[in-house]
């Protein structure tokens, strides 16, 4: 399924550059353990055919494949997808991959899914209007009663003087890099310093959770919120998880 083409755009180019080092951010045993939370949610909804929208180097796709889900693994970065395939081989599974941009995701498939996931704070790379449009397209890719799960770092912590650390939320507990996040002129500037000295900076508009909930609801999803994978809203959580059920 991989089309082998590099997508254009700043974020894709940045992730193509990051791909060789991205796994240094991840402690795979810990990350696969966290995937169990999402697996439980998907099973609650009887969702077996899943679209992983932000495959990255593959942790969630691999965890789902290992548990017998039927997964299609999409990402805008060809180099991240290539890493994911190598990791999948290490874990004894084969991924069905697609390189595509979320902004055109509605045109990519001629099939529907029972679930879609967008994890690891990925959605933050789009701005509100774009996310709104993409969530609508994702709704169109899901069967009735399908489920869409996305997660978001809680950037409102920064405006209250609370730190954001790489390892918060348990997704990125690898020991191969440090991360600093700060607010500059309304943008989050997130810098990674890797243990081999390489530095990367990503900057984007922070997603606030009310905005994310509204994006889901305006596309016809019934939303449940989790704070650090526990039911309900907590102001100082590190990560929020949103589960949208398609009506
Ligand atoms: C923070 S990484 C998370 C990867 C993985 N989900 C994880 O948790 O490790 C974000 C991923 O989203 C992908 N991405 C960002 N913007 C995208 C877009 N507009 N279309 C498709 N993929 C995108 C990046 O290429 C990257 O692999």
Distances (CA, A) of 83 to 31, 67, 150, 213: 16, 21, 22, 32
Closest C-alpha among 148, 141, 179, 221 to residue 24: 179
As a whole-number percent, the residues of the chain with pLDDT over 70 amount to: 98
Which run of H or of E encompasses 89? helix 78-90
Residue 224 pLDDT > 60: yes
As a whole-number percent, the residues of the chain with pLDDT over 90 amount to: 95
Token digits for 55? 């495959």
Ligand 1 centroid, distance to 15 Cα (angstroms):
8
The 3-state DSSP class for residue 156 equals helix
pLDDT, tens digit, 9 for 90 and up, residues 197-208: 999 999 999 999
Residue 3: pLDDT band (50, 70, 90) is: low
Q: Which residue puts its alpha carbon closest to atom 10 of ligand 1?
A: 122
Q: Which residue puts its alpha carbon closest to atom 5 of ligand 1?
A: 56
Instruction: Please give the domain boundaries of the chain with CATH numbers for all domains.
Output: 10-153+207-246 (3.40.50.150)
pLDDT, tens digit, 9 for 90 and up, residues 46-85: 999 999 999 999 999 999 999 999 999 999 999 999 999 9
Ligand 1 pocket residue status of 82, Cβ below 6 Å? no
Q: Which residue puts its alpha carbon closest to atom 25 of ligand 1?
A: 77
- Helix (H), strand (E) counts: the chain: 7, 11
Q: Can you say whether the dihedral through the CA atoms of 200, 102, 45, 216 is positive or negative?
A: positive
pLDDT, tens digit, 9 for 90 and up, residues 108-128: 999 999 999 999 999 999 999
Query: What is the pLDDT, as a whole number, of residue 7?
Result: 81
Residue 229: pLDDT band (50, 70, 90) is: very high
Query: What is the pLDDT, as a whole number, of residue 2?
Result: 46
Residue 31: pLDDT band (50, 70, 90) is: very high
Residue 95 Cα to chain centre, angstroms: 17
pLDDT, tens digit, 9 for 90 and up, residues 138-187: 999 999 999 999 999 999 999 999 999 999 999 999 999 999 999 999 99
Residue 1 pLDDT > 70: no
Say how far apart CA 131 and CA 221 lie, in whole Å.
14
Ligand 1 centroid, distance to 231 Cα (angstroms):
25
Ligand 1 pocket residue status of 59, Cβ below 6 Å? yes
Say how far apart CA 193 and CA 238 lie, in whole Å.
21
Ligand 1 centroid, distance to 75 Cα (angstroms):
6
Mean of the per-residue pLDDT values of the chain: 95
Ligand 1 centroid, distance to 81 Cα (angstroms):
10
The answer to whether 178 touches 168, Cβ cutoff 8 Å, is: no
């Amino acid at each position: 399924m991989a089309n082998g083409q590099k997508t254009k755009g700043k974020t894709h180019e940045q992730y193509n550059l990051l791909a060789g080092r991205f796994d240094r951010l991840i402690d795979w045993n810990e990350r696969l353990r966290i995937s169990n939370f999402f697996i439980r949610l998907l099973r609650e909804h009887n969702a077996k055919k899943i679209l992983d929208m932000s495959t990255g180097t593959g942790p969630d796709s691999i965890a789902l494949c290992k548990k017998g889900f039927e997964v299609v693994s999409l990402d805008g970065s060809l180099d991240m997808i290539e890493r994911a395939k190598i990791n999948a081989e290490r874990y004894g599974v084969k991924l069905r991959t697609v390189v595509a941009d979320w902004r055109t995701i509605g045109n990519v498939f001629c099939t529907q899914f029972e679930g879609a996931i967008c994890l690891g704070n990925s959605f933050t790379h789009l701005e509100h209007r774009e996310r709104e449009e993409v969530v609508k397209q994702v709704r169109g890719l899901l069967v009735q009663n399908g489920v869409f799960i996305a997660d978001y770092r809680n950037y409102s912590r920064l405006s209250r003087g609370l730190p954001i650390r790489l390892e918060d939320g348990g997704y990125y507990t690898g020991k191969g890099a440090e991360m600093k996040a700060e607010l500059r002129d309304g943008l989050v500037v997130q810098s990674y310093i890797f243990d081999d000295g390489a530095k990367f900076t990503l900057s984007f508009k922070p997603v606030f959770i009310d905005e994310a909930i509204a994006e889901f609801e305006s596309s016809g999803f019934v939303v449940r919120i989790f704070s650090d994978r526990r039911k309900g809203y907590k102001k100082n959580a590190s990560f929020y998880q949103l589960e949208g059920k398609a009506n």
